Amino acid sequence: MQVQALQTRLVKANDDLLQVIDESIAADTKLQAHLPENSVLAISSKIISYCQGRLVKKTQSEIQGFSKEQARAEKHALVQKEAELYTDPHSSKYDLMLTIKDSTLAVNAGIDESNANLDGEECFVLWPTDLQATLNQVWHHCRQKYGLKNFGVISTDSRSFPLRWGVVGTTLAYCGFKGLNNHIGQKDLFGRQIHMVQVNAAEALGVATTFAMGEVGERTPLALASELEKVQFVDHEPSATELASNKIALADDAYAPLLNSASWQKGGNSHD
């Protein structure tokens, strides 16, 4: 597998995502204005949010003279609105809220403040809406424009990892390949039948491409993973059944004893 970060211009609110992608591919000297077969394009969820205008200006920042507590309260209220489930921020020594949103366990519902600016002012960047439909559109566009057969797209973000410092990448949505490589029924080196092993290809690609993108001021919110021998490409958008097969209900999760012990509260995006 080869992973290459792609630089873009500074993305602004309500920019055209497809245009940003095409410009980046055209400007990259290694790609020579073309995407290769058997590749997956990773797109940071943040620039998708920018292109969707999913930015909220801060009204109570410390720069404006408000206290740290007031500034945090504004963010906490936004997290409650965006999350499906959330924990009280005071339950964390870091004043962070654990949340579940779009079947993803995240801190603060994915709301970010880094590289966040709207009309010269500090803002919050929210997770994108209709992310699957957006990725499907990018997938169709790139396959047609670059004449591709085996091609995939993912949207990535960063997340913390329990019992480890630092962040790693995660995949929020994907298109163009099987999200899981199912090894159930196969045999290991010693003839033992595999009963549970499925490799999350989408998540693995999210980790690798996010690492290549960087986390600070690189201005590389795109990355291309190529020479992907273990990715199973498909010629259709993922169906509702395929997407559902990648998700685990809270009660069935191996970490259920920990997750169920949290004092969850229903947020504004709760479907119950």
- Position 272 scores a pLDDT of 64
Alpha-carbon span 63 to 217, nearest angstrom: 21
| Distance of alpha carbon 65 from the chain centroid | 33
For the chain, which ranges sit under pLDDT 70? 61-63, 66, 272
3-class secondary structure, 78: helix
- Position 63 scores a pLDDT of 65
Alpha-carbon span 80 to 16, nearest angstrom: 29
- Position 263 scores a pLDDT of 94
3-class secondary structure, 131: helix
Question: What does DSSP say about strands 121-125 and 117-118: parallel, antiparallel, or unpaired?
Answer: antiparallel
Alpha-carbon span 272 to 262, nearest angstrom: 18
Total residue count of the chain as it appears in this document: 272
- Position 217 scores a pLDDT of 86
- Position 62 scores a pLDDT of 66
How many Cα atoms are found within 13 Å in the side-chain-facing hemisphere of 88?
A: 3
Contact call for residues 182 and 196 (beta carbons, < 8 A) = no
* Cα-trace Rg, the chain: 20
- H-run or E-run covering 164: strand 164-175
**CA angle centred on 55, ends 90 and 161, rounded to 5°:** 45
Q: What share of the chain is helix, strand, coil (3-state, %, to 5)?
A: 30, 25, 45
Alpha-carbon span 229 to 3, nearest angstrom: 13
Domains (ranges, CATH) in the chain? 1-52+128-238 (3.30.1330.100), 55-126+250-272 (no CATH)
Q: Return the amino acid letter for 270.
A: S
Contact call for residues 172 and 131 (beta carbons, < 8 A) = yes
- Position 213 scores a pLDDT of 97
Q: Return the amino acid letter for 161.
A: F
pLDDT tens for 214-234 read 988 889 999 999 999 999 999
Alpha-carbon span 189 to 186, nearest angstrom: 10
pLDDT tens for 188-202 read 888 888 887 888 999
3-class secondary structure, 155: strand
**CA angle centred on 15, ends 114 and 208, rounded to 5°:** 50
